A and B are shown apart, each in its own frame.
Chain A
């Protein structure tokens, strides 16, 4: 069905008579306004996402450091800390868990909200 051998075609002549509404003049401004809003939003998301990855990184490094400190320097550190406060290492562990890991989970939540949002929607494009 080649276009060249179809001409002249009555169907084209008929369809040309169909009502073909035009886009409104305001549509360009409307689209550009939305695009600018989307751009600002995307930039904010990207900033959020970068910050989230940074804090998750800090939390992971913090955990590794924590493990390293307790496996290598634990006896001395334990003595030194407990001089000032009984069960100081335990208290510090709880503080670490609640602050750093809580923050890491919060940032993970951000990531799921923005960066991985398309997985939730089932849009894999």
Chain B
């Protein structure tokens, strides 16, 4: 059964059909909210709020975009609301240091697997929310640029710029975090 089938049933008043959509997309929604908020409890609350909003607005959904794209936009908007309430900016003003991606890749390969995880999590946690979100959407959720445009409400050029900046910043932060570790290894 496709999403459209269940969406149709929900709009006809069968609330229980929404359970299928929640089950199918809750993990994705949770990953997206977590990438922005970096907090398990907040991410879970945000996902709940997003699904409730989606349920209330489901009659406005037009099948022009995939349901998941429409839903992720709601999740992103809810996450941004939470950040605003906490007065956290979506962007960072800090400049990005130039970094050689190849070197960072070599460095991280030289440490143990569990340490690699630790440093990658640390770097992601220090990313500005918008950039962390775009990395999540592009690399982990494997959304196309068109879908990311739609989810983040940006145009193609902006998406490309943020993606490029996010990539640079991730490597830059990772390099900083690895510095001490590498000194220890050397």
List residues of A whose CB falls within 8 A of some B CB. 1, 3, 9-12, 14-24, 27-28, 30-32, 34-36, 38-39, 42
Query: Per-position contact with A for B100-130: 1 when CB-CB < 8 Å, else 0?
Result: 0100010010000100110011001000000
B26 within 8 A of A: yes
Cβ-defined contact, B19 with A28, below 8 A: yes
Contact of A17 among B15, B52, B116, B163 (CB under 8 A): B116
How many contacting A-B pairs (Cβ < 8 A)? 94
Dominant secondary structure at the A interface: helix
List residues of B whose CB falls within 8 A of some A CB. 15-16, 18-19, 22-23, 26-27, 29-31, 34, 40, 43-44, 47-48, 51-52, 55-56, 101, 105, 108, 113, 116-117, 120-121, 124, 135, 138-140, 142, 144-145, 160, 163-164, 167, 170-171, 174
Q: Which of B19, B113, B142 has the most CB of A within 10 A?
A: B19
How far in angstroms is the closest Cβ of chain B from A109? 23
Contacts of B55 in A (CB 8 A): 35, 38
| Measured CA separation A54–B30 after assembly (Å) | 43
How far in angstroms is the closest Cβ of chain B from A57? 26
**If the complex has contacts A18-B120, A18-B124, A35-B51, are A9 and B139 also in contact, measured as CB distance less than 8 A?**
yes
How far in angstroms is the closest Cβ of chain A from B71? 12
Cβ-defined contact, A20 with B31, below 8 A: yes
| Measured CA separation A114–B170 after assembly (Å) | 45
Cβ-defined contact, A3 with B145, below 8 A: yes
Contacts of A28 in B (CB 8 A): 19, 22-23, 26
Given A3-B142, A17-B117, output 15 extra A-B contacts at Cβ < 8 Å: A1-B163, A3-B138, A11-B101, A15-B139, A18-B140, A24-B44, A27-B22, A27-B48, A28-B19, A31-B48, A31-B51, A32-B15, A34-B48, A35-B51, A42-B56
Cβ-defined contact, B30 with A15, below 8 A: no
| Measured CA separation A20–B125 after assembly (Å) | 12
How far in angstroms is the closest Cβ of chain A from B121? 5
